[in-house]
Amino acid sequence: MKTSPSSSFFGRMAGGITRFSGSTAAFMAAAGMVVVWAAVGPLFHYSETWQLVINTGTTIITFLMVFLIQRAQNKDSLVLHLKLNELIAATQGASNRLINAQDFSEEEIAILHGFYGTLVELAKQDTDLGKTHSIEEAEDNHTEKLIAREE
């Protein structure tokens, strides 16, 4: 994976560490350190200091890796959203209102979920598997239901 020349030093470093930490070499290095730590146990008479070395080391590494993993996950999520946004924008008939849906409130997401549930129900009523429905049809169906309730 290439990094942009304009990436910050931290961005390049974090990316490199993230790629390395998921490699076989990183696993082998970590396993090797545990084996060495266990092997020197008798030299230190399995003291509290000997135990503290591995506990402190693993705690620090875990603490730092949480932030690197979250950074990588945030970047992956953003890239996935951008790719989906491109597909939505480029697809004839797709609802552009879903571009940046990740920024919707919980209430807006629930409303859209309801509309898509309605689309599923419309699709179940069709014998033609190739027929599609739109959010607008779901909205019309919802409006008709509201009118029917008021009567």
| Residues 79-101 pLDDT 10s | 998 898 888 888 877 777 788 88
Q: Is 131 helix (H, G, I), strand (E, B) or coil?
A: coil
| Residues 50-83 pLDDT 10s | 999 999 999 999 999 999 999 999 999 989 988 9
Across 122-127, average pLDDT: 72
Q: Is the pLDDT of residue 10 over 90?
A: no
What end-to-end distance do the CA atoms of the chain give, in Å?
Answer: 62
Whole-prediction pTM: 0.60
Helix (H) or strand (E) holding 22: none
Per domain, the residue ranges of the chain are 9-90, 104-150
**pLDDT given at position 54:** 95
- Say which residues have a Cβ less than 8 Å from residue 15's Cβ, sequence separation at least 6: 1, 3, 7, 72
